[in-house]
Amino acid sequence: MPHDSTTWIEATTAALRKATLGPRTEHRGRVEEIGDGVALVSGLRDVRLDEVLRFEGGQVGFARVLDPDLIGCVLLDAVTDVQAGDAVFGTGEITRVPVGETLLGRVVDPLGRPLDDKGPIHSDLFRPIEQPAPSIIERDLVTEPVQTGITVVDTLFALGRGQRELIVGDHSTGKTTLAIDAMIAQAHSDMVCVYVAVGQKTSSVRRAIDALQAQGNFARCIAVVAGSSDAPGLQWIAPYAGMTMAEYFRDKGQHALIVIDDLSKHAATHREIALLTRQSPGREAYPGDVFYIHARLLERAAKLSKARGGGSLTALPIAETDSGNLSAYIPTNLISITDGQIVLDAALFHQGQKPAVDVGLSVSRVGGKTQAPVLRKAAGTLRLDYAQFLELEVFTRFGGMPDGRVRAQLTRGARIRETLRQSQHMPYRLSDEVALMLAVQSGVLDAIPLGVIPAFRAALPLMLDKEVPDFNFSMDQTGQLEPEMHDKVLEALNHLADSLADGSAETGVP
């Protein structure tokens, strides 16, 4: 026993000698009110905006509103153990998230904490969730295409690296599917993909991640998930955290694609937090800075100049409309911020036209500069022909027998519409899209029954690999369609159309 006492005394003495004595400053406040994920804190006059605050129970939050007497703190953890009167400590640090290659292939929450079963994430790099957008002098022109593998997008509304293209439509019209398909198409490209789920149902997020794991290259993807049951603070920081994770690759000279699903729910979360922290409400009870929170977020997507490494960050934000009302507050805000929008129509969706893209309301304000030249040449006047067909189709519903020229336009337009249909999670290669456009514009499909075209689309990739094996390689390497290759592809397309037409005649397909 004496021996143990001596050992304890020696250990205590050694610890005391190592201890740093003297005064220590501690930023300490107290909780005045708590509820619905928001705490009003007093006594922290030196706190900065977005500074991390730590509660005595170990929970954390960030300072969102700085009033002279009270700090509006948004909690990032459960609030069941936080009560009025509890101590709150300022940390002096702003909200940061881990970044780097260690996040690839992982499902994380907006603070970088793992949500999968792959163990902890070890990262030595942390960056603030709020970063300044690149200045004009640091940006370059958006000229490089992003091949989404979706025919209607690549041919009519080409997407460029560094662009911000809004996907907007009613509930359950295929917005998430369209974005996930664009991510799946990057399986063999040099783009890193980041999927951010804000306020989505767990089942919807699970389906999206399963599709990426099954069809895409999830080893080059990051999934940031803030579900509908998570704290409002986590949902609020999710888009900014995902953008910071994607910016790491952009700043390294690489290319990244971020999908934010969706900003309508993020705006609703912002409104909830603003009302709870007693900010003045404006239109539809949103606070006055609801435009700014999304503008400063999406401005971070850009194509950097060569002096900055030449990297790019492409953004596909998603917004939900109510009964197709594009003039609602949040959709109009986002449309004015982004470089174009892809509008999904509920009526087209229920008619079976998937993706249900409304070609009249959709637009890419970057234009054809980002479209692959060979695809632009193959598509030709596709958009104009399709728009004219849609108008003629409406008029012919009133009856009457159209003349031969109008009948030819209707026949061609019906084939265009059928070729723009596409099964989910099955993106096309550039060579497949070019061949499909050649088949439409050269009249190969005019002579075959409309009901055979789905079989034509399904058989096209395998036929090209078998009959014209050099075509796909030529598209990837040179991006040019030489006259000799053009003739070979056209011959193969005619052969495929004839074989399918003969089979349909035997089976009686109309």
**Beta pairing, strands 166-169 & 312-320:** parallel
Question: Among 204, 168, 175, 186, which residue's Cα sits nearest to residue 246?
Answer: 186
Question: Among 190, 400, 430, 485, which residue's Cα sits nearest to residue 310?
Answer: 190
Euclidean distance between CA atoms 506 and 19, whole angstroms? 92
Kindly give, in sequence order, each residue whose CB lies less than 8 Å from that of residue 62, ignoring residues fewer than 6 positions away. 50, 51, 52, 53, 73, 74, 76, 94, 95, 233, 237
User: How is the chain split among helix, strand and coil, in percent rounded to 5?
Assistant: 45, 20, 35
Residues 28, 45, 48, 365: which is the catalytic one?
A: 365
- CA angle, residues 207, 229, 294, in degrees to nearest 5: 80
Active site residue 139: no
**Beta pairing, strands 221-226 & 145-146:** unpaired
Euclidean distance between CA atoms 366 and 500, whole angstroms? 39
Euclidean distance between CA atoms 223 and 242, whole angstroms? 8
DSSP string, 152-192: HHHHHS-EETT-B-EEEESTTSSHHHHHHHHHHGGGGSSEE
Euclidean distance between CA atoms 179 and 326, whole angstroms? 19
Beta-bridged to residue 255, according to DSSP, are 191, 312
Question: Among 299, 77, 315, which residue's Cα sits nearest to residue 191?
Answer: 315
Kindly give, in sequence order, each residue whose CB lies less than 8 Å from that of residue 86, ignoring residues fewer than 6 positions away. 30, 31, 55, 56, 57
Q: Mind telling me the catalytic residues?
A: 365
